[in-house]
Amino acid sequence: MLDTAIIGMGGWGQKLVASVQGNNAAGIRFVSGATGRPERAEAFAKAQGIRLEASYEAVLADPAVKAVVLATPHKAHADQVIAAARAGKHVFVEKPFTMSKASAEAAVEACAKAGVVLALGHNRRFLPSTAEMKALVEAGELGTILHVEGHISGPGAIAYKAGMWRADRSESPLGGMGGMGIHMIDMMVNLAGPIAAVTVRSKALVLDNGLDDTTAGLFRFASGATGGFATLAYAPRYWRIALFGDKAHVEMRGQEQVIFTPREGQGWTRDYPTTDIERAELSAFAAAVAGGPAYLLPVAEAIHGASVFETMVFAAEAGGEYAVP
């Protein structure tokens, strides 16, 4: 059992804890924690059997804690990952990994030097529907991938009020990108490979809290395929990714359905049961720490995702197409 600390005990941190706490099969349990506003987390920590420490530094100094899970503001991730690695703690960090390629590389290097496992919380990689699509791509069922379309939206940004860290444009550039859109970037990279260049437009059409609500991009993949992307931070929830090849196209509509359409012959539609993807990712992290299968998201792809995000922010501000370093 991996004795772990939860850092950041807001709504998402609590969701991560609840997904595994008390389930021995998960291979991980939360024994300690720290958060920016401890008074708001006292009752939850007590109910979950979590020691609430005064600071992140106090958590890292505890030899009983073998790993940390970071559910903290985006800009804090890089320094917190590096500090955990230097303390010899394995690290699971929520997305976005970091806010720049350079900081992502520094975090990965620190974990490699310390010999600790680093896992990034792109939980959609653990969907059965994702595994189905990836298997089709790898088997060549689509032929040459020509184009990719990805869209993820939801109304969460309307709740971001002045004083909340998520309402800070430096924490939430490009509207819904940090909270939602980065998941779709990872999905596109996972299924279609590295993104080589981006063009981005981002603006506020309805929100008045200082954040963008409409973000869209055109991508060029390293393979030569084109891509289209959108994330809306004040719209009904929506998830869709589709890959178009010269032999077939495949679409994930919602997170539990895959539709396969060949150029010739009969297609199919498959539905999958709802998966607790938070439990799945944390269990995979614990298994990797225990010497089991490597975590599903390679660190090179984590770095690339940070680089794409950084380039998208720049492209939106500057206009035009920009290469992803």
CATH class of 2-123: alpha beta
Q: What pLDDT shows up at residue 157?
A: 86
**Distance between CA atoms of residues 285 and 156, nearest Å:** 27
- pLDDT value at 260 more than 90: yes
Band the pLDDT of 160: cuts 50, 70, 90. confident
pLDDT digits (tens, 9 = 90+) for 102-141: 999 999 999 999 999 999 999 999 999 999 999 999 999 9
- Angle, helices 182-192 vs 299-318, to 10°: value is 120
Taking residues 83-99, report their average pLDDT.
98
Contact (Cβ atoms closer than 8 angstroms) between residue 52 and residue 17: no
Residue ranges of the chain that CATH labels 3.40.50.720: 2-123
Residue 159 or 66, more confident: 66
Residue ranges of the chain that CATH labels 3.30.360.10: 127-323
- Angle, helices 182-192 vs 128-138, to 10°: value is 30
pLDDT digits (tens, 9 = 90+) for 270-295: 999 999 999 999 999 999 999 999 99
Contact (Cβ atoms closer than 8 angstroms) between residue 153 and residue 226: no
Q: What pLDDT shows up at residue 78?
A: 98
Neighbours of 96 (CB within 10 A): 29
- pLDDT value at 91 more than 90: yes
Per DSSP, helices labelled H in 65-177 are: 77-86, 101-114, 128-138
pLDDT digits (tens, 9 = 90+) for 206-255: 998 889 999 999 999 999 999 999 999 999 999 999 999 999 999 999 99
CATH class of 127-323: alpha beta
Task: Judge if pTM exceeds 0.85.
Answer: yes
Taking residues 55-77, report their average pLDDT.
98
